[in-house]
């Protein structure tokens, strides 16, 4: 079986890449495969393994003040700046072997492929393992990429985990330096590429090789609370009830209907979900007096999320009036803006895939990624590889060795092209 995917004269070794993925998968909580939570002893063990592999590949290894593990291979003309490739090695509880890890190992494999072919680039290459892309025990995600882009705010360092340790102290524990976070901010990276499993079924269902990510969704979480009156479920006539849940369920149905309409009418990606719905007092024989929900709305177009919020505000107010309950003002719990991938990088990746005879699709990312923060630092792009049935954040997560190698070859070819074509400062 042909297991090497050639990027012109330099080839990615699919077997070597796969062996690394499986070796990292072994570093897991044995009771909860595959778990390597950020900041945990297992996470640090995984990083020691990675650091060794980075060093074996000829990279100089360091941890930056934001806790990112970085392997660096100086270029022939280091003044040109850095081309960076990477993702994250932490997992969710009972997560998979590929989410994030595939992108880190891809970076490592690219460096080895270049070395094996005796190719040295003009630009310096860095392989980055971002700290804590998944929500950490401190309640914050994308800690490393926030740090690299200047979005790790001082107040965030005071967030605590379940045993009361601050993120500030946690950062120190993983080799970061919370007192000098400014030094983690980068201005020398000229391009960044992240390879990631799609975590969806689009590529697999269309039998496509790679997805070229157009943009990463922004996520707005909206809290809506309806307040009615708790009354006896047997003695209160229907016409005299103030049932908070009735307004709530009609709003849930509205969220679904409006999201479907927006996704249909607009070219842009739009999805919305009510994932939290609680009622009080929550007894079979009592009319619900309070209903709280949290809407998670995601889109690549900021204007759509504003319009959605306005419509939901109006409709939920109407449903409250119809059910004779009150509705508190909508509360925006969190609001991350969408991030666009760089058009030039997208074109380079598209061209690279074509040169490798791989099929591609422009695709929006419905999940958040470190790349969203890296777009604030430098031109950034993402390559998606298909994963089985779109399953992710579960032990069943799976991507074929050849599929990952194909994506890695696209990244390798793109890095080589960028090394020649990136604008050079005179």
- 3-class DSSP state of 288: coil
Task: Find the part of the chain contacting Zn ion (CB under 5 A) among 52-60, 92-100, 120-128, 139-147.
Answer: 92-100
86 lies in the site for Zn ion, by CB under 5 A:
no
Question: Rounded to whole angstroms, how far apart are CA atoms 131 and 86?
Answer: 11
Burial of 335 (0-12, 13-18, 19+ CB in 10 A): middle
CB of 24 to Zn ion, least distance (A): 14
99 versus 190: smaller Cβ distance to Zn ion: 99
Can you give the length of the chain in residues?
Answer: 426
CB 217 within 8 A of CB 383: no
Tally of CB atoms within 10 A around 353 = 24
CB 299 within 8 A of CB 364: no
CB of 95 to Zn ion, least distance (A): 9
98 versus 226: smaller Cβ distance to Zn ion: 98
CB of 88 to Zn ion, least distance (A): 6
Q: How many chain residues interact with Zn ion (CB under 5 A)? A: 2
Cα–Cα nearest to 191, from 298, 342, 14: 342
92 versus 422: smaller Cβ distance to Zn ion: 92
243 lies in the site for Zn ion, by CB under 5 A:
no
CB of 297 to Zn ion, least distance (A): 21
DSSP 121: -
124 versus 380: smaller Cβ distance to Zn ion: 380
Burial of 307 (0-12, 13-18, 19+ CB in 10 A): middle
CB of 103 to Zn ion, least distance (A): 8
Determine which residue in the list 100, 178, 211, 368 makes contact with Zn ion, applying CB under 5 A: 100
147 lies in the site for Zn ion, by CB under 5 A:
no
CB of 73 to Zn ion, least distance (A): 24
Task: Find the part of the chain contacting Zn ion (CB under 5 A) among 98-106, 120-128, 157-165, 263-271.
Answer: 98-106
Residue nearest to Zn ion (CB): 100
Specify the long-range contacts of residues 397-403, CB closer than 8 Å, at least 24 apart. Answer: 397/95, 397/96, 397/97, 397/98, 397/99, 397/197, 398/96, 398/98, 399/98, 399/102, 399/197, 401/3, 401/14, 401/15, 401/17, 401/18, 402/3, 402/5, 402/14, 403/209
CB of 367 to Zn ion, least distance (A): 7
User: What is the four-CA torsion angle of 202, 204, 210, 215, rounded to 10 degrees?
Assistant: 20
**Tokens representing 206?**
């269309």
Determine which residue in the list 64, 90, 99, 243 makes contact with Zn ion, applying CB under 5 A: 99
Report the Cα 103 to chain-centroid distance in Å.
12
90 versus 190: smaller Cβ distance to Zn ion: 90
325 versus 374: smaller Cβ distance to Zn ion: 374
204 lies in the site for Zn ion, by CB under 5 A:
no
Task: Find the part of the chain contacting Zn ion (CB under 5 A) among 78-86, 91-99, 140-148, 381-389.
Answer: 91-99
- 3-class DSSP state of 171: helix
Tally of CB atoms within 10 A around 1 = 5
200 lies in the site for Zn ion, by CB under 5 A:
no
100 versus 147: smaller Cβ distance to Zn ion: 100
87 versus 289: smaller Cβ distance to Zn ion: 87
CB of 411 to Zn ion, least distance (A): 16
81 lies in the site for Zn ion, by CB under 5 A:
no
Question: Rounded to whole angstroms, how far apart are CA atoms 219 and 222?
Answer: 10
Q: Which residues bind Zn ion (CB under 5 A)?
A: 99-100
């Amino acid at each position: 079986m042909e297991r090497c995917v050639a990027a012109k004269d330099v080839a990615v070794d699919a077997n070597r890449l796969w062996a690394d993925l499986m070796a990292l998968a072994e570093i897991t909580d044995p009771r909860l495969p595959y778990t390597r939570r950020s900041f945990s002893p297992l996470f640090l063990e995984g990083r020691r393994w990675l650091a060794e592999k980075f060093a074996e590949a000829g990279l100089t290894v360091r941890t930056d003040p934001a806790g990112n593990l970085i392997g660096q291979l100086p270029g022939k003309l280091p003044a040109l700046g850095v081309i960076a490739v990477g993702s994250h090695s932490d997992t969710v509880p009972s997560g998979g072997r590929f989410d994030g890890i595939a992108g880190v190992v891809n970076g490592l494999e690219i460096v080895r492929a270049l070395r094996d072919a005796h190719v040295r680039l003009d630009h310096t290459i860095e392989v980055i393992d971002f700290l804590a892309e998944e929500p950490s025990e401190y309640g914050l995600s994308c800690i490393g990429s926030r740090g690299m882009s200047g979005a790790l705010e001082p107040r965030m360092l005071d967030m605590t985990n379940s045993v009361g340790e601050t993120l500030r102290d946690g950062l120190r524990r993983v080799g970061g330096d919370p007192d000098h976070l400014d030094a983690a901010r980068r201005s020398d990276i000229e391009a960044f590429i992240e390879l990631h499993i799609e975590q969806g079924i689009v590529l697999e269902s269309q039998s496509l090789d790679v997805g070229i990510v157009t943009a990463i969704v922004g996520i707005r979480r909206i809290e809506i609370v309806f307040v009615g009156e708790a009354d006896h479920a047997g003695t209160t006539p229907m016409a005299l009830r103030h049932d908070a849940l009735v307004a709530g369920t009609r709003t849930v149905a509205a969220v679904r209907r409006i999201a479907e309409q927006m996704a249909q009418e607009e070219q842009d990606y739009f999805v919305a979900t009510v994932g939290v719905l609680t009622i009080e007092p929550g007894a079979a024989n009592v009319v619900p007096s309070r209903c709280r929900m949290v809407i998670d709305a995601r889109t690549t177009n900021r204007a759509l999320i504003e319009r959605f919020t306005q419509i939901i505000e109006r409709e939920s107010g109407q449903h409250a009036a119809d059910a004779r309950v009150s509705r508190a003002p909508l509360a925006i719990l969190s609001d991350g803006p969408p991030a666009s991938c760089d058009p030039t990088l997208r074109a380079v990746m598209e061209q690279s895939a074509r040169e490798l005879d791989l099929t591609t699709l422009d695709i929006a990312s419905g999940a958040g990624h470190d790349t969203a923060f890296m777009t604030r630092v430098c031109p950034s792009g993402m390559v998606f590889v298909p994963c089985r049935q779109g399953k992710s954040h579960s032990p069943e997560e799976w991507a074929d060795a050849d599929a990952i190698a194909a994506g890695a070859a696209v990244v390798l070819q793109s890095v080589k092209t960028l090394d020649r074509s990136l604008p050079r400062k005179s």
